[in-house]
Amino acid sequence: MSNNINHENQPEKKPTPQEEKIYEEAGAKKIIDDDGCCSSKKGKPEKHSDDDGHDHDHDNSDKTTFQMFLPAIVSFFVLLAGIVIDNFILQGWFKDWVRIIWYAVAYIPVGLPVLKEAYESIIKGDIFSEFFLMSIATVGAFAIGEYPEGVAVMLFYSVGEVFQTLAVSRAKSNIKALLDQRPDEVTILENNQPKTIPADQAKIGDIIQLKSGEKLALDGELISDSASFNTAALTGESKPDTKNKGESVLAGMINLQTIAQVKVTTAYEDSKLSKILELVQNATAQKAPTELFIRKFARVYTPIVVGLAVLICFLPYFFVDEYIFRDWLYRALVFLVISCPCALVISIPLGYFGGIGAASKNGILFKGSNFLDIIANIQNVVMDKTGTMTEGVFKVQEVNIKPEFDKDELLKMVNALESKSTHPVATAIHDYVGKIDQSLELQNTEEIAGHGLKANAKGKELLVGNFKLMDKFSIQYDIDPSEIIYTVIAIAYDGKFAGYITIADNIKEDAKQTVERLHSLNVKATMLSGDKSTVVKFVAQQLGIDNAFGDLLPEDKVNKVKEIKSRNETVAFVGDGVNDAPVVALSDVGIAMGGLGSDATIETADVVIQDDKPSKIPMAINIGKQTRKIVWQNIILAFAVKGVVLILGAGGLATMWEAVFADVGVALLAILNAVRIQKMKF
């Protein structure tokens, strides 16, 4: 994406050791791998190279919840029995080495994996990890004889890790649902006989036979007369979509009715769904500034608190009358437990991960969590008209040709020339005129950006476009274009004005609601279009859009966006992501409408709305705002609670039990808050 330089090359993407472990145990490692090593450009997973030196063989994603909690359950009951014997059923044999071994047995199931992770982190050069803090604090507790507290700290820490893993698994489910949309096998017709083959072996031109309830594995063209499809997995839209013969159908769609036949038009690895899967797999590699800050903060903060803990332990020796090493070591250990940044390093990425998942479920794809942050602060939405707020399906309303020209002959030439263009106007003219006369030969065909088309037809110059094209070639005309409310296609032949065609486009049914919701979010709406000003202002007036400008060339759109940005206001541009590339590049966030229709759109946009509904624009902004709100709630909660308990711990007023709450308790509260976004209705 070429939008802004700050969208790319973001530093410090390396996850913290605990974050890496949590994601791996949740089975989400391949989806959020920052190296991108698990997704290729074709959307297929690549074999991991283990360049990071981390052993991936211990992936626990296939463990049941009970298996994940089992070490903690064993530890809990051994610890509980020890506390009961210590305090309620006093036994003479339960002392010295017997007592130490008993609590060591309680410690090993939950402590050994953490000690191992601490060792591996140190070997990789990451000394001050969360595992290191927990290891020092709990081993230190054993060293001063506080065995139950040492076990309890590690037990609750491990339970917290399991809850974090489960939370990430839940956040992953929305994204994984999308990644699982494509079946592994397809039924093709070979000599009119059905044959089941692996989906990636299907070739372009093969005919797929799709039964009712089956998912399509590859993009293709419907060759049955009609079929109804469930597109919810791709667009978030539950309403069935009926396709007619010759229309495109996409991988991931589910056939709802009778058997349908689809001709494969795209290779398995090049399908729209493959491109979307790659986009989603790589989404969390682009980190939000808040997330990057927390990671950097944790890497600086952890060594500092270890240093402070050392000072708390030894510095009082020089200032207090009765220095007792054991008491001050205990305070230092409490301080270490409290200072562990678990709540921040897991709950914040989880908040963004959940935001991306919630958006995916609603048919909105964010290319990175950084765009969730940016879109939350958007003050202006600048939108194209055609295909964004209107349906983009034009119909000819009026044909006005001067009597000195042969109307039928002229329309045939216009139809032949417009066939060289992919603009919706060309489709409208073709639908009106009919089949292209192949006997007509056009020479020197040229498209003039922002104006129209020019060619030589039957040895004479033919111009078809807007009235700026007429002005450019000094064609005199006797009408006032501003008095015609519809889009006007002017025609000139042999240096003379020959007449015009008017074309109209319908406004989308949710367009007005979109503008109202944008206003409720305090976002201003501006419409920029190359269409004539009267049409643009008419549409804007009906929708309640704040500002509207028509008759714009691509460079004019750029200037309008620059004008907004000169006021130090943020801008999201909504369009097709291809024709408006300069504006997309200038905007803070590029949003593509109808992303399933264009490969290039998926490549260029920061946010892809998978159906043509403009109402998803304010929804995307709202998801960004809610994600940011949850992230900052977690940051404030963690800092506030930890700050208070740190002071109490340093002063000897907080025990290990308060430390456990300040660490694991706050982490769990933050995680529960983070997963809320997946339950929200947008």
Query: Which phi-psi region, left, alpha or beta, contains residue 208 (left: φ > 0; alpha: ψ -120 to 50)?
Result: beta
Give alpha helix (H) positions in 548-608: 554-565, 581-586, 599-604
Q: Where are the beta strands (DSSP E) in 384-486?
A: 390-401, 442-448, 452-457, 460-465
Query: Which phi-psi region, left, alpha or beta, contains residue 155 (left: φ > 0; alpha: ψ -120 to 50)?
Result: alpha
Which two tokens mark 304?
């500092």
Chain length of the chain? 682
Residues 6+ apart with CB under 8 A from 552: 450, 528, 529, 530, 560
- Specify whether 384 is catalytic: yes
Pairing of strands 241-244, 226-230: antiparallel
Query: Which phi-psi region, left, alpha or beta, contains residue 117 (left: φ > 0; alpha: ψ -120 to 50)?
Result: alpha
Question: Residue 559 half-sphere exposure, CB side, CA atoms within 13 Å?
Answer: 6
What's the one-letter identity of residue 170?
R
Compute the distance between CA of residue 258 and CA of residue 261 in angstroms, rounded to an integer: 10
The answer to whether the beta carbons of residues 38 and 49 sit under 8 Å apart is no
Q: DSSP string of 90-123?
A: --TTSSHHHHHHHHHHHHHHHHHHHHHHHHHHHH
Q: In whole angstroms, what separates CA 424 from the centre of its chain?
A: 30
Q: Which of 384, 551, 606, 611 is catalytic?
A: 384
Residues 6+ apart with CB under 8 A from 478: 497
Q: Helices (H), strands (E): how many in the chain?
A: 23, 22
Q: Considering all CA atoms of the chain, what is the largest pairwise distance in Å, rounded to the nearest integer?
A: 119
Handedness of CA 541, 543, 547, 552 (dihedral sign): negative
Q: Which residues pair with residue 526 across a beta bridge? A: 382, 547
What's the one-letter identity of residue 533?
S
Phi/psi for 318 (5° steps) reads: -90, -5
Q: Which residues pair with residue 220 across a beta bridge? A: 249, 264
Residues 6+ apart with CB under 8 A from 671: 163, 164, 167, 346, 347, 350
Q: Could you give the residue numbers annotated as active site?
A: 384
